[in-house]
Structure 1
Amino acid sequence: MVGNTPAMRQIFETITQVAKWDTSVLIRGESGTGKELIAGAIAYHSPRANQPYIKLNCLRLT
């Protein structure tokens, strides 16, 4: 991911903060907003970065 706007810097800071903890993270947003990129960045920066990264797609049907 690339970006230098205040909003992107905040996202990068949040990713590094969340990645420190051994916890679940719910990432919500519209289709096409980069949720999977955020999830991958969290996994990459976490202590478990060398373990398998399993993608889970949850669909909400309403």
Structure 2
Amino acid sequence: DGEGMRAVVAALDALATDPYPAQSFPWGQMQRLRVGKYRIMYIVEGDLVTIDRIDRVSGS
């Protein structure tokens, strides 16, 4: 899914400047961001954003 992955890469780039976009939600100690058919799970520690995983959303 090339188009979907391009959207994921763009979202990852945007997290560098805004780790808490309006579309993200807290998930335990992580943040969860839905990008099209994908879910990005990541941790924010100060200025560091660590991507935990990128999953395809079931049913999509």
**TM-score normalized by the length of structure 2:** 0.35
Q: Which has the higher contact order (CA 8 A, sep 6+)?
A: 1
Which of the pair is proportionally richer in strand?
Answer: 2
Q: Which has the larger radius of gyration?
A: 1
**TM-score normalized by the length of structure 1:** 0.35
